[in-house]
Amino acid sequence: MRTIGRASVVLAAIMVVGMVGMTAVAQQTQAASGSSGENPQKSQQSEAKAVLMTHGELAQILVRKLGLYRLLPVNPTDMECMILLAQNGIFPSPTLVPTEQNPVPGWSLDPDKEVTLAELAVVLVRALRLEGKVQGDPADPQNWLNVLKDVQVPTDSIGAGVAALVPLSDVVEARPIFQVTQDPIQRRYLPEPSAIQILNTIVFPDLRPPTVPPAGPPPVPVTPT
């Protein structure tokens, strides 16, 4: 009887230890599960933030993807890329057009301004030369997104959307985006307001050698009478 009693006590102790161990393992598993549940969310947020880019970064990518980079100077600035894109009809504004006062409508040089989904949709549609397919109010971003949806261009990320672009076949090359002044490092962007063009003409006159007018007929010799 004593042997059976001792065996029962030992068995009960083993069961208690086992239950305590299982509880500890469950708590550790739950803690690990909770921490692993937070990491994917943070990872997704980090990945989502990584795919965002500024206007300048997008402009630099587009000039290469659309075959415009060869028209730019070495190591072009963001502004040079934006002007060339706008001259070729590619800009984020759904309603404005390039003017002397605003040659790059919708583009921003703010290093903290990231490209929005609506701006991306407008840029992609213009780069695909499909702006004529936009129906309804052009100020409504959904109308631009519908055009991309019809041609199966993804808009969930900038990389996926840009990957669908091809080099432009109708590139505008006639208008230079800058001209060199007396200082080769200084660049004047075009188009410029008329007042600035006049001022530049006064401050930076044409440095080419003057054109010598053609010589006229030789003078008629005077003969004494």
* pLDDT of amino acid 182: 44
So what's the pLDDT on residue 96?
94
pLDDT reading at 58 higher than 70: yes
Long-range contacts at 46-51 (CB < 8 A, ≥ 24 apart): 51/157, 51/158, 51/159
In the chain, the percentage of residues whose pLDDT exceeds 70 is 57
Tens-digit pLDDT profile for residues 107-148 = 999 998 999 999 999 999 999 999 999 999 999 999 999 999
User: What pLDDT is recorded for position 5?
Assistant: 53
How far apart CA 93 and CA 37 sit, in angstroms, is: 40
Per residue, what are the HEC states of 81-112?
HHHHHHHCCCCCCCCCCCCCCCCCCCCCCCCC
Provide the token pair at 202. 């006064």
Task: Mark residue 54 as left, alpha or beta (left: phi above 0; alpha: psi -120 to 50; beta: remaining).
Answer: beta
pTM, to two decimals: 0.59
- Higher local confidence (pLDDT), 14 or 174: 14
What pLDDT shows up at residue 157?
Answer: 87
Q: What's residue 52's pLDDT? A: 79
- Which tens digits make up the pLDDT trace of 61-77? 999 999 999 999 999 99
Mean pLDDT (whole number) for 168-176: 72
Which pLDDT does position 190 carry in this prediction?
46
CB 119 within 8 A of CB 144: no
Q: Which of 13-17, 93-97, 98-102 has the lowest mean pLDDT?
A: 13-17
The percent of residues in the chain predicted with pLDDT above 90, rounded, is 46
Residue 100 has pLDDT above 70, yes or no: yes
| pLDDT tier, 195 (very low <50, low <70, confident <90, very high otherwise) | very low
pLDDT for position 27? 59
